[in-house]
Chains A and B, each alone.
Chain A
Amino acid sequence: MPTRSWKKAMSAAAPTEPSRIRPPRTAMPEQPAGQRVGNFDEVALGYTPDMARAEAVRCLACKKPGCVAGCPVGIDIPGFITALAAGDVPRAYAVIRRANSLPAVCGRVCPQESQCERGCVLGLKGEPVAIGRLERYVADTFMADGACAVLTGAAACPPPVAKTRVACIGSGPASLTVAGTLVTRGIAVDVYEALHEPGGVLVYGIPEFRLPKAVVRREIAALKSLCVRFFTNWVGGRTVMVPELLDQGYEAVFIGIGAGLPVFLDIPGESRIGVFSANEYLTRVNLGRAYAFPEWDTPVYPGRRVVVFGAGNVALDAARTAVRLGARSVSIVYRRSENEMPARAEEIRHAREEGVGFVCLHAPVAFGGDAQGRLASVRLQRMRLGEPDASGRCRPVACEGAFCEIEADIAIVAVGTRANPLLPRSTPGLLVNRRGYISVTEATGETTLPMVFAGGDIVTGAATVISAMGAGRRAAEAISRRLLG
């Protein structure tokens, strides 16, 4: 439950008249770089009540808020910030939860600069309100345990009607959103996850130092407290088939299995020991807690010189993980220039502060190594920027004859993921597109199988937590309309 300190700080902060001069955006306290490279603790420490108040009062509570339009799930941002500024954190939380069932997660990992904060009117002349940080503050302060009371105002949610049951396959943000939405409407939800821990990428992919696992566990505990059941170690398409679930009495099935199939570079020497997909490297460290080896049993390969291919969030997470595991040098190798890097600006800044090097306009062409099959070096080719491609980014073009060799004992391939065909292939009648992603009716998420819905990365390809949640939200609305009328 909320503590007293925020209450005091908040009531002192209740705004009277919005002042004309806006104070600057409140900085986020962070673990200093020199310290954080030696641990896996969270980098951004979170606002204090005073900081949250100072930031909340910057918001103009716009009548036509640009921020809300930028949020894929349409949180009533002025609504929650006004409540926060008035010292009412539970109300702020209730406002957020109406649209977002994982606020502690989104407040941390949403690319706010290209979503809600991009639409903030304050950003036109100065710095936008730190919406994500405030969302995180509210979620962290108000423990989600009494979620039902907050969401519905009632002491307890309607008990799930035993007859109306829905199954979710996969337990990433898309499925968690479906579960959270349906369960508060009296529909019982069972979630089937292939791995031994629920949470999807939030658990196996995004590292502890950006998203502590305790935060994800808390969100999942909140769902469990609402009687959502989690079945781990169940593989859709192996342990359980989609049609079977419908036969077993589930009235609808939601498929939220993500897009976790790693893409490799397909260049010579890629099977060498020391070459890993980012998924393997991150799964060992996050799901397997390999950073605590041997207290935890899953090992991670030790290396002193690490190169990471790619420059998205996944690549940066892998690079920053390698730094924390004690690598002497860690470099991001990217075939375009720095301007085209898809990772968030904040991630790139954090990585730089932690000593990650950036080698732009280079692409790997081969892995070299010793007679035991271990990686020792990577051969790179120089690239230059050519014409923009379909995505508007300049296409990298190889510079003929310009090669160089760099030493490396670990290479991490983070150049993207694709749809895992395991479940679609074992589900007759489920239509997928040319690239293997499940085809759905956009507005409802319904697939070509009646009462079978899908959403998140398995429909769109690798995207964001919040877009997966948006898809989950749409599917949940459609499902509850069908089931509850």
Chain B
Amino acid sequence: MVHRIVRKRPLIPGRTSELVIYAPHIAAKARPGNFVILRVHDKGERIPLTIANVERNDGTITLVYLVLGKTTALLDTLHAGDAILDLCGPLGKPTAIRRRPAPVVCVGGGTGIAAMHHIAKGHRLAGNMVIGIIGARSKDLLLFEPELRLVCHEVLVATDDGSRGRKGLVTALLEERLAGEGRVAEVLAVGPVPMMAAVSEVAGRFGVPCQVSLNAIMLDGIGMCGACRVTVGGETRFACVDGPEFDGAKVDFRELSQRLTAFRPQERHAYEELEKSHVCRCAN
């Protein structure tokens, strides 16, 4: 099965791009909250990326990635027409989506906004009232706002520097919304770990359940290694098969942040070696 990139679209030049990939067997099964694991070359590492959108009729899935290290940098050298060597999915449990009497608030931060898009879309299709709250450091780093506007009834934006929407953090917007009129059924958050921790804390204060999508380091993605283990409510769970979404109130975020640093020196080294090897990325 060859998975070709149908379209590539830079969202934040040099940092974040969107790939639309032809993968009909994955598209047929993918539901909001699912992810894939991919490899880009025959000595490559397996990395997980969230499925940000699915077009069943076209047989495509959409991935949005932030260039952080070697694998995402190599992924970024690919273009429309190129094949992804290995693409495995859909993995993880889908988001638990059911009909809600009150609005659902979807909070996305950074690249997590794209991942959140699929969840927001799922809630919308289920007939729920969906409010999107998204944030980034500045307006240039904000992505998927137009896509989110298509699926949310309302989209609130925050940037650290105030270059778009409210100046400040998404949690301030969330807090206002939760303190305001009308009940909120559920909060979902996808983004950097500190953001998800803060969102869980705010939601908890208002007594609203909060689901977070955990980005633990993964290897096989099917529950065979335990690399992705996280502590939830004092119990060890595997993010790849028991998650990636968990009750934010119960997640040990400190441990998750620490575990994400496990391979940092090696990751940095691999990235530096790649930079030295002059991989041509100028065609972006």
Supposing A238-B91, A289-B43 touch, asked if A280 and B219 sit within 8 A by C-beta, the answer is yes
**Chain B residues near A262 (CB-CB < 8 A):** 224-226
> Which of A25-33, A52-60, A292-300 touches B?
A292-300
| B258–A373 CB distance below 8 A | yes
- How far apart are the CA atoms of A196 and B1 in the complex, in Å? 12
CB of B262 within 8 A of CB of A273, answer yes
A40 to B163, CA, bound (A): 55
- Flag if A196 contacts B46 (CB, 8 Å): yes
State the CA gap A132–B28 with chains docked (Å). 47
Q: Which of A9-17, A228-236, A327-335 contacts B (4 or more CB under 8 A)?
A: A228-236
Q: Is the CB of A297 within 8 A of B43?
A: yes
Question: Chain B 185-225 against A: per-residue CB contact (8 Å), 1 yes, 0 no?
Answer: 00000000000000000000000000000000001101111
Across the interface, name the chain B residue whose C-beta is closest to A299.
B266
In whole angstroms, what is the CA distance A184 to B154 when docked? 62
Confirm or deny: B248 has a beta carbon within 8 angstroms of a beta carbon on chain A. Answer: no
CB-defined contacts of A194 to chain B, threshold 8 Å: 88, 220, 222
A239 at interface by CB-CB < 8 Å: yes
Partner of B241, one of A240, A277, A295, A422: A422
Q: Is the CB of B261 within 8 A of A273?
A: yes
**In the complex, which of the residues B29, B88, B89 has the most CB atoms of chain A within 10 Å of its own CB atom?**
B88
- Say yes or no: B225 contacts A279, CB within 8 Å: yes
The interface size of chain A toward B, counting residues with CB under 8 Å, comes to 43
Asked whether, in the complex, the Cβ of B223 is within 8 Å of the Cβ of A196, the reply is no
Tell me the interface secondary structure of chain B in the complex: mixed
Question: CB distance B43 to A295 under 8 Å?
Answer: yes
In the assembled complex, the Cα of A262 lies from the Cα of B227 at a distance in Å of: 10
> Of the candidates A234, A273, A274, A294, which one forms a contact with B269 in the assembled complex, judged by CB atoms under 8 Å apart?
A294
Q: Which residue of the partner chain, among B89, B220, B226, contacts A195 with CB atoms under 8 Å?
A: B220
B145-181 to A contact mask, C-beta < 8 Å, 1/0: 0000000000000000000000000000000000000
Instruction: Mark A201-243 against chain B: 1 for CB-CB distance below 8 A, else 0.
Output: 0000000000000000000000000000001111100111000
- Residues of chain A contacted by B259 (CB below 8 angstroms): 271, 273, 373
In the assembled complex, the CB of B195 is this many whole angstroms from the nearest CB of chain A, namely: 20
A-B contact pairs, 26 of them (CB 8 A): A196-B46, A233-B1, A233-B86, A234-B25, A235-B89, A238-B90, A239-B26, A260-B224, A264-B226, A264-B236, A273-B262, A274-B262, A276-B226, A277-B226, A279-B224, A280-B227, A283-B224, A283-B225, A294-B270, A295-B43, A297-B70, A297-B270, A298-B46, A301-B263, A420-B224, A421-B223
Interface residues of A (CB under 8 A from B): 194-196, 231-235, 238-240, 260-262, 264, 266, 270-271, 273-274, 276-277, 279-280, 283-284, 288-289, 292-299, 301-302, 372-373, 420-422
